Amino acid sequence: MTRSLPPLSPQIPFLTVFNLVQHESYMRQEQQPKRQDKIDLRVHACLYFIRPSGHTLRPLDIEVMKRLGSRVNLIPVIAKADTLSPSDLAKFKERIRKVIAAQGIKVFTPPIDEDDRQAADHARDLTAAMPFAVIGSDKDVQTPDGRVVKGRQYLWGVAEVENEDHCDFKKLRSLLIRTHMLDLIQTTEDQHYEGLSHAPSSLSFGGYVDHL
């Protein structure tokens, strides 16, 4: 049976409501006698793009990130990072980290396996890089040394998408699809889904908006 989404207010992110709908759908499938063909449409990662203002998070960013972080694995990302100088970007990142900590915003942090030193160091590197600063481009450009790369051409040179000295795209890609994909799914299961499944009233369309 398909349910329609409840009325939304501007303060309730659509993704939050959509994900709760998927949690309810998944829980209903688990209650069926035959559970081997479950369809999982739950959201396991939410990239929240932050404008590269160079200042700090806006009040709206803080409010929306708080709501999203309690329902989904939230990953903050600074868009168009090449519009900031390296020093301004570093300061901007630090301000955002301080606001996230001060406001108690929940963001996804990759788990650290102390038994695997290399994996643990990589997880720490990813955590230290948050919020990830990314450059987006699907165009091939030539660098001064003759390499052809994905990036953006400027008068001063090339901003390379996959150069870790220029942005965090490779770190973000690693987190999402290479080293921590299963951790994202497991965190959805252990934290976001289990928390809701033990409080079924928050999943009912008549009342869950009050829990957001």
Any idea what the CATH number is for the domain that residue 164 is in?
Answer: 3.40.50.300
Is the CB of residue 10 less than 8 Å from the CB of residue 67?
no
Q: What is the pTM of this model?
A: 0.75
pLDDT, residue 25, reads 56
Q: Is residue 100 part of a domain?
A: yes
Question: 135-169 b/e with 16+ CB inside 10 Å = b?
Answer: bebeeebeeeeeeebbbbeeeeebbbbebeebbbb
Q: Is residue 11 part of a domain?
A: no
Domain containing residue 69: 44-192
Q: Is residue 208 part of a domain?
A: no
Q: How many residues comprise the chain?
A: 212
Conformation bin of residue 14: beta by default, left when phi > 0, alpha when psi is -120 to 50:
alpha
Count CA atoms within 13 Å of residue 127 on its CB side.
12
Convert the pLDDT of each residue in 147-200 to its tens digit.
Answer: 999 999 988 889 999 999 999 999 999 999 988 888 998 888 777 656 555 454
Is the CB of residue 105 less than 8 Å from the CB of residue 74?
yes
Convert the pLDDT of each residue in 9-49 to its tens digit.
Answer: 444 455 555 555 554 555 565 556 666 666 666 778 889 99
Q: Is residue 12 part of a domain?
A: no
Sheet of 157-160, strand order: 140-142, 148-154, 157-160
Count CA atoms within 13 Å of residue 111 on its CB side.
11
Q: Is residue 89 part of a domain?
A: yes
Asked whether residue 205 carries a pLDDT value surpassing 50, the answer given is: no
pLDDT, residue 95, reads 96
pLDDT, residue 123, reads 94
Q: Is residue 57 part of a domain?
A: yes
* Number of domains forming the structure of the chain: 1
Conformation bin of residue 137: beta by default, left when phi > 0, alpha when psi is -120 to 50:
beta
Q: Is residue 98 part of a domain?
A: yes
Q: Is residue 20 part of a domain?
A: no
CA–CA distance, 43 with 22 (Å, rounded to integer): 8
The dihedrals phi and psi of 108, each to the nearest 5 degrees, come to: -70, 130
Convert the pLDDT of each residue in 112-160 to its tens digit.
Answer: 988 889 999 999 999 999 999 999 888 999 998 889 999 999 888 899 9
